[in-house]
Amino acid sequence: MSSSLPNTPGHSFSGEMAERLSCFQYAFAFSGGGSAGAYTAGLAYGFHRLGVIDSRLSNVKAIHGVSTGALVASLMGLGRFEELAETYRNVRTPDIIAPSHHLLYEVSGRNIVPVLAACIAFGPPYLYNTKPLRRVIDGLMGEDYAGFAQLLELQERLEIGYSAVNLNKGTTVTLTNRIENMSPELLRESLLASSNQPILMDLVELPELRDNRFLLDGPKHVHCDGGLQEKLPLDPIMLAPHAEEIDVIVTVLLDPPVVAPMESRFKSIMDQLMRTVDLLGFNVGASDKSRANFVESLLRCQRKVESELGPEAWRKLCEEFPKPVRDFLSHGKGCDKPYEFIDFQPDDLGIRHSLEFIPEQMREAFDRGNADAEEKLRTWWLTRGQSLVPRTLAPRPTTRSATPYSITTSRPATSPSPPASGNGSSTTARAEGLAPGDLAANE
């Protein structure tokens, strides 16, 4: 590992700041991005390096990822931050993928177009096989699925989820360590399903998921990279029972804010194919980002209206919203404390293509994610965080009636209490601008 990898916070990040940030309860949503996932790995490493989360992830409720974000979620969930850094700073393209017709690829001067023609004429139905990726995953998680078994053991206090697309049904599925009959082997295959892009990589067959159970006796369905329909897995976090336990959602979207121009004349089939894939992926990511911004704006609006005018005013305001917005809000189960968001969307990371794993480029992306974690956490703390009361520090709120248009962050009153998380979290009200003692005095 490079000696330039920092292991301690910078001078602008104090121990007191880290200690108080560690009182918040976090959830993480990681997009896909292939080799650009080195940025996400660096960011996760940075949160740990700064002391905001510990190796047990005792203040993390959920980590959801798509594609490369799913692998980051797995290693992060196990607290293997050094292995996370080692992998994403040193892995190379041959460690991840191999052309389906390798000899033809070499004879043609490493031109993938003849491989595409051979795949169309003779099969297999993908350009690259992922046996190397499977070997990397098995090396990290154990060939006996030991790492995946550990993730299943964490299910009571930490949800690990992978987004994939069921191609047979045309729907996005969330494959988590909390699926009732999930096994270590199925969790491994779920990770691979989330990572493999159709046409480019071999697809994965899994049992159909229904009512949080795999239909093990039914036919298997073909699954692929969740980024085909969802780049940023926010819904699994915001609509799940553990939502009431979360203070802060950290999002990482690896698509740049704007489409990068290209000078190419696109005379090659592969140039056209790769550019088309990139543009389709960008549009999915942009849609997810817009939705996240919409939700964040609603949360801030709800917080302000309820604090100044009361819950009834928020309910009446929601009645004036367009029907799609009302339908979205109708999923709510009562919002005692809206989330905070810390969003990361880096611009150009210097990585030409997501399926090119070049250590020099990935180390730069990792280091940038590591540095951005420190800078953005410090900025969020100074502008927002220090005025907020984490769930673990605030007393329970006085009884208030839920409104039918509250954004989803807690269970219905008729639902049983969630399992104890072991870290003393509870549902509490947000108190902006007040210290814990001030809140207690007002109670």
- For 41-68, what is each residue's pLDDT tens digit? 999 999 999 999 998 999 999 999 999 9
247: nearest Cα among 428, 369, 415, 424: 428
With a cut of 90, say whether residue 84 has pLDDT above it: yes
Give me the helix-helix angle, 68-77 and 37-49, nearest 10°: 20
With a cut of 90, say whether residue 284 has pLDDT above it: no
13-27, 232-246, 362-376: which range is least confident on average?
A: 232-246
Within 8 A by CB and 6+ apart from 290, the residues are none
93 or 296, which is more confident: 93
Task: Assess whether the previous peptide bond of 99 is cis (omega < 30° from 0).
Answer: no
What pLDDT band is residue 243 in, cutting at 50, 70 and 90? confident
The string of DSSP codes covering 372-434 is HHHHHHHHHHHHTGGGS--TTTSPPPPP-PPPTT--S-S--TTSPPPPP-SS--------TT-
Q: What would the mean pLDDT of 335-346 be, rounded to a whole number?
A: 77
CB 357 within 8 A of CB 1: no
With a cut of 50, say whether residue 142 has pLDDT above it: yes
CB 179 within 8 A of CB 213: yes
Which tokens in the block code for residue 49? 């390096």
What pLDDT band is residue 211 in, cutting at 50, 70 and 90? very high
Type and span of the H or E element at 221: strand 220-225
Q: What would the mean pLDDT of 129-153 be, rounded to a whole number?
A: 94
3-state class (DSSP) for residue 166 = strand
Beta-bridged to residue 176, according to DSSP, are 161
Q: What separation in angstroms does the CA of 266 have from each of 235, 336, 346?
A: 37, 53, 26
With a cut of 90, say whether residue 272 has pLDDT above it: no
pLDDT value at position 231?
Answer: 83
3-state class (DSSP) for residue 63 = strand
With a cut of 70, say whether residue 256 has pLDDT above it: no
- For 342-373, what is each residue's pLDDT tens digit? 999 998 888 878 889 999 999 999 999 999 99
pLDDT value at position 403?
Answer: 41
pLDDT value at position 259?
Answer: 62
pLDDT value at position 333?
Answer: 37
With a cut of 80, say whether residue 381 has pLDDT above it: yes
3-state class (DSSP) for residue 364 = helix
What pLDDT band is residue 419 in, cutting at 50, 70 and 90? very low
